[in-house]
Structure 1
Amino acid sequence: MPDTPDIWTTLKVLTWTTGYLTEKGVENARREAEWLLCAATGLDRVGLYLNFDKPLSGDELATARALVSRRGRREPLQHILGTQEFDGLSFAVTPDVLIPRHDTETLVEQVLLRVPGARSILDIGTGSGCIAVSLAKRLPEAAVTAVDISPDALAVARHNAAQHGTAVEFLQGSLFQPVAGRSFDLIVSNPPYIPSTDLEGLQPEVRNFEPRLALDGGPDGLDAYRQIVADAPQHLTRGGWLLLEVGAGQATDVTVLLAESGFAATIVATDPAGIERVVGGRHGSD
């Protein structure tokens, strides 16, 4: 917003910010302007509307300018605010982790539907820890282990687990390497699945700010799935399940990988938008 001596009321800042973000190509500009102004003023959304005519203080205006400038550069709102809601919980997020998506809640839902009695769970590529922590909250009798190759991501995940009072075991390393010789009733993963050639076409928020390691799935987007599906049987109890989030249009290919590795009772589940989002299968027989 212009640095002028004008009186900037809550409504004036909100209106200007909405227009500015719209010009910068931000979707849902009005709602995001509200969130940014809430962060700058300490008000909630109801408070904003009850204080439309209230001028912002100098400090509030300076904070608002800084936050809006960051969002105008297409830095993700979640990085600016530092949190993202997932499965009814608030998770800290940083540029070191993939921002939790509500699509991924479908994976949590499928765990509760398919394997509610799992006593041991492995989350591969945990990132922010949103899946592992959510499952630890939902299935308190289960022992949850989460691995990630990035120590910085694990630091965020450990913080989130502590914030929600969950005793998740976090291990650093690639895929199954940190759990050599161990087996689990359930393995879950939301691996990188964007084909390498598609990365430059992603929204600036994703392309420029989220970790490439969590996005790049190789030439066809399936590199991580091939490795996970091939090695998972060695780490599943008999009758255990492997459940994977997949990108749009990948469900059939991943189902074939599961069948080729001997998984039975393969399933495909759609997210709220009707996109095939989760693929899974059972190892051996019950």
Structure 2
Amino acid sequence: MIDSIITIEKALAAAANAFLALPEDKKSDTAKLDAEVLLLACIDQTRTYLYTWPEKQLSHKQHKQFLNMVERRKRGEPVAHIVGFREFWSLPLEVNAQTLIPRPDTETLVEQVLALEITGNISLLDLGTGTGAIALAIASEYAHWKITGCDKVGAAVTLAKRNQKRLNENSRFDNVHFLQSDWFDAFESQKFDVIVSNPPYIEPDDPHLNQGDVCFEPLSALIAQDNGLADLKHIISEARKYLNQNGMILLEHGYNQSEQVSDFLYKMSYKGIKTFTDLSGNDRITVAQWQE
């Protein structure tokens, strides 16, 4: 029984086994990591500590807190929601139920921004910023860029600003500005050198919406009409008015949507269209250039 275990090693093993025994709709592919992240939140230590002191006993308070977290995870609640944060691009970001949990695959979008062959005082717009993950990750690499992140959900903008403030030691993220906007509505005649977005792109009837972490995430950040392409098409079409000459657009999309996204970019007269794969080898990011 998990309740009788008070050492780090045994607590982790029992929790991981409990996660592996869950039904498919609640099972995690990262049972061991889930257990580690939950326990670390209880003992306030680094991951190295778990392997250095496996026989260390948990206090009654730590053990009780861990058991509570394990039960929440067994009900399918995302680890990020339980502990209140998720690491993205080595940045610890606060998360909550009002925003999408940043995924490792989205780091591919950041990588492609960093790979762009552009110089100077670049302006970038992150549409649907959520936690601010993409904007803050890029800002951590390019302090001289002027970065704007927007979201139509006020609670998401508040969260992104809170993440910025917490990370902003030595004014490291002063080049980022977050504001509320439904896609381009707040920008009127403004233009940008780069526009990025990880918009909703899941079909409303996709069975995966009833499985795993997405059950606890806001549907507004996940689903889009027109086979999941409605928001992508809107961004592609409207971005032409907000991109500078030779400006770049980078979009995250579903693994099976790259052809449709590329075709629509071509239809809207974008050039240099390329698709890049994520950590699992699936088509995930499509990049194009706007030339009037």
TM-score normalised over the length of structure 1: 0.92
Contact 2:5 2:11 (8 Å CA) reproduced = no
Q: Report how many aligned residue pairs link the two structures.
A: 282
From 135, 147, 150, the counterpart of 1:147: 150
From 204, 207, 212, the counterpart of 1:204: 212
- For 1:146 and 1:199, locate their aligned partners in 2 and report how far apart those are by CA, in whole Å: 31
Q: Which amino acid aligns with 2:282?
A: I
- For 1:212 and 1:7, locate their aligned partners in 2 and report how far apart those are by CA, in whole Å: 38
Relative to structure 2, which stretch is displaced further, 54-63 or 103-112? Answer: 54-63
- In the alignment, what sits opposite 1:119? 122
- In the alignment, what sits opposite 1:47? 49
Contact 1:115 1:241 (8 Å CA) reproduced = no
| Stretches of 4+ aligned residues off by more than 6 angstroms | none
From 184, 190, 207, the counterpart of 2:198: 190
- In the alignment, what sits opposite 2:270? 263
Contact 1:196 1:219 (8 Å CA) reproduced = no
After the TM superposition, which residues 15-34 of structure 1 pair with which residues of structure 2 at under 5 Å, given as runs? Answer: 15-24=13-22, 25-34=27-36
Contact 1:36 1:68 (8 Å CA) reproduced = yes
Contact 1:133 1:164 (8 Å CA) reproduced = no
- In the alignment, what sits opposite 2:84? 82
Gap runs ≥5 in structure 1 = none
Distance 1:43 1:138, change over 3 A: closer
SS at match of 1:191: coil
SS at match of 1:268: strand
Contact 1:199 1:216 (8 Å CA) reproduced = no
Distance 1:179 1:73, change over 3 A: same
The structural deviation recorded for 1:247 is 0.8
Gap runs ≥5 in structure 2 = none
The structural deviation recorded for 1:115 is 4.7
SS at match of 1:97: coil
Q: Which amino acid aligns with 1:121?
A: L
Distance 1:9 1:154, change over 3 A: same
- For 2:227 and 2:94, locate their aligned partners in 1 and report how far apart those are by CA, in whole Å: 31
After the TM superposition, which residues 33-182 of structure 1 pair with which residues of structure 2 at under 5 Å, given as runs? Answer: 33-117=35-119, 119-165=122-168, 166-167=173-174, 168-182=176-190
- For 1:7 and 1:217, locate their aligned partners in 2 and report how far apart those are by CA, in whole Å: 45
- For 1:7 and 1:276, locate their aligned partners in 2 and report how far apart those are by CA, in whole Å: 44
SS at match of 2:115: helix
| Amino-acid identity (%) | 35
Report whether the alignment pairs 1:9 with 2:17.
no
Distance 1:202 1:182, change over 3 A: same
- In the alignment, what sits opposite 2:290? 283
Q: Which amino acid aligns with 2:269?
A: G
The structural deviation recorded for 1:50 is 4.0
Contact 1:251 1:276 (8 Å CA) reproduced = yes
Contact 2:2 2:11 (8 Å CA) reproduced = no
SS at match of 1:220: helix
Relative to structure 2, which stretch is displaced further, 208-217 or 110-119? Answer: 110-119
Relative to structure 2, which stretch is displaced further, 113-122 or 240-249? Answer: 113-122
Q: Which amino acid aligns with 1:149?
A: K
Aligned residues: CA RMSD: 1.9
